[in-house]
Amino acid sequence: MKLSEITKVYGNGSLQVPVLHGIDLEVEDGEFIAIMGPSGSGKSTLMNIIGFLDYPTEGIFELNGENIISAKEKHLAKLRNEHIGFVFQQFFLLPRLNAQKNVEAPLIYAGMSKRERAERAKQMLEKVGLGDRVKHLPNQLSGGQKQRVAIARALVNNPTLILADEPTGALDSKTSAQIMELFVQLNKEGKTVIIVTHEEEIAAYTNRIITLRDGKIIDDRRTRP
């Protein structure tokens, strides 16, 4: 993945608000990256562009040799569903569906049969340590358990890239450590993991820390090989 001279401007005319200013970034398969920076630095906007949830105003975004900025929305939706798993601070679980049904949701769009969906969802919940919570509703789960369900949902399509925006922001320190250890394990299994965080303790789990300020990358360092 390679981003070159990526800019992002919101609004029109005199109401334009520039957020990203010429971002150059290359991500190798299997990296574990933290994107840091103060509020308003552009880190979530950059995450959304990487995940095809937002479009840059200018620049080049190459994925597997293809400039996806010129791709049609239908193609981008297919790439999102097949290659990217999203994890957010707010969990975004459907309150009337149990853990298993929440995890199954992305598989419906993939056209998988009901039986296959159920089996895959159970496998993913077991993987994140919730094999005994498959029938629990979100309001019957702790914050850490809800985040594990969200991670299982992100994994269910076997993505190559996991994007997590402040995934521990609503959790206590002990639960945050457990969630980060899960991301570490997923990275060891070959997943590329990119996390947005403002916490040094969370960034310390990763292998590379990218710091943004005022829409620019001001530091890009590897913490370990």
Number of Cα atoms under 13 Å in the Cβ half of residue 141? 29
Lowest-pLDDT choice from 103-117, 171-185, 197-211: 103-117
What percent of the chain shows pLDDT beyond 70? 100
Q: Helices 143-155 and 173-188 meet at what angle, rounded to 10?
A: 20
Assess contact for 91 and 165: CB atoms under 8 A: no
For the segment 148-184, what is each residue's pLDDT rounded down to a tens digit? 999 999 999 999 999 999 999 889 999 999 999 999 9
Domain edges within the chain: 30-44+81-222
In this predicted structure, what is the pLDDT of residue 112?
85
For the segment 37-86, what is each residue's pLDDT rounded down to a tens digit? 999 999 999 999 999 999 899 999 998 888 888 888 888 888 888 889 99
Any idea which residue has 């969990």 for tokens?
91
Name the CATH code of domain 30-44+81-222 (choices 3.90.1210.10, 3.40.50.300, 3.20.20.70, 2.30.180.10). Answer: 3.40.50.300
Q: How far is CA 147 from CA 46, 158, 169, 186, in A?
A: 22, 18, 11, 15
Q: How far is CA 54 from the centre of its chain?
A: 13
Nearest to 194 by CA among 100, 83, 106, 120: 83
